Each structure stands twice: as C-alpha cells, then as structure tokens.
C-alpha cells in the first residue's frame, strides 16, 4: 500500500471520528447519541428489524447492540414485539421516537451540511461512488 492510500484510510477514520463527535454534541441535548440515531434512521426508513439484522447492517457485535438497544428502550425510543418467528423480536420505534424524529433529522442534516460546505454535488457523487466500491470490496 502506498502513502496516498495510507493517507486515504487515515483521513476516512479521522473524519468519521470527528464527525461522530460533532454529531454527538448536537444530538446529546436531544437525548440521543450517534449510534442510536443510526438505528432510529434505519428503523424509520426501512421499518421494523430484528436485533440480528441491525447488528449485521451496522457491523457491530451482538453484545454491543444489546447494550445500545437496552439504553434506547429505557429512554423510550424503541420497543420490542414478537414477530412471526416467536424467538426473534422485532425492534420498532415508539410514538415518542416518531414524534422526535423530525427534530433529530434536522439536527443531523445541519451537521451534514456543515461538513459538505464548499463541496460540489459532483464531488459528493464521486465520493459516494468510491465509498460504495470500497464497501463491496470488503
């Protein structure tokens, strides 16, 4: 791997950490963390999911997901209901989470807009294409 590639991966990692920190600072006053937002966004856009499906999508281990979901349930953002397979529960958003969703989304979009300031739509599209190709390679 050459120096340019090393710098690419270092930069991706650093950006991700910094953006997560900024997003956490914006979401925490609203009772939410970045990891929880990702789950809420997924449930809102794709509908109910099992813990296993959420873990797979986010690339996190089961114990981490269990802790995150327990915190979210305690906060009143999600609930679990028995699905067609009685052994696996479906995770769904509560009415409280649905009521807060637009506020959270606006906060996230504000942080995203700040990160994308001075970056053209073409550059964003190219970056998205590259990231998708890299993800397929994994």
What residues contact 40, with CB distance under 8 A and at least 6 apart? 32, 72, 77, 78, 93, 97, 101, 104
Fold of 16-137: Arc Repressor Mutant, subunit A (1.10.10)
Q: Identify the pLDDT of residue 124.
A: 95
Surface-to-core class of residue 126, CB atoms within 10 Å of its CB (0-12 exposed, 13-18 middle, 19+ buried):
exposed
What residues contact 95, with CB distance under 8 A and at least 6 apart? none
Q: What are the tens digits of pLDDT across the range 18-60?
A: 999 999 999 999 999 999 999 999 999 999 999 999 999 888 9
Position 11 confidence tier, pLDDT thresholds 50, 70, 90: very high
Q: What are the tens digits of pLDDT across the range 59-106?
A: 899 999 999 999 999 999 999 988 777 778 899 999 999 999 999 999
Structure-derived torsion over alpha carbons of residues 84, 86, 92, 96, reported in degrees to the nearest 10: 130
> Within the chain, how many helices (H) and strands (E) appear?
6, 3
Q: Identify the pLDDT of residue 101.
A: 97
Q: Identify the pLDDT of residue 87.
A: 77
pTM of the model: 0.85
């Amino acid at each position: 791997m050459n120096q340019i590639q090393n710098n690419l991966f270092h930069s991706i990692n650093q950006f991700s950490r910094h953006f997560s920190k900024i997003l956490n600072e914006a979401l925490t006053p609203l009772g939410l963390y970045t990891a929880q937002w990702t789950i809420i966004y997924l449930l809102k856009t794709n509908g109910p999911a099992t813990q296993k499906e959420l873990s797979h999508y986010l690339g996190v281990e089961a114990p981490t997901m269990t802790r995150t979901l327990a915190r979210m349930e305690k906060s009143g953002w999600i609930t679990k209901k028995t699905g067609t397979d009685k052994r696996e529960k479906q995770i769904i958003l509560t009415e409280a989470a649905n009521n807060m969703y637009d506020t959270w989304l606006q906060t996230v979009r504000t942080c995203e807009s700040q990160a994308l300031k001075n970056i053209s739509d073409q550059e964003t599209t190219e970056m998205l294409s590259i990231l998708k190709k890299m993800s397929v390679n994994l």
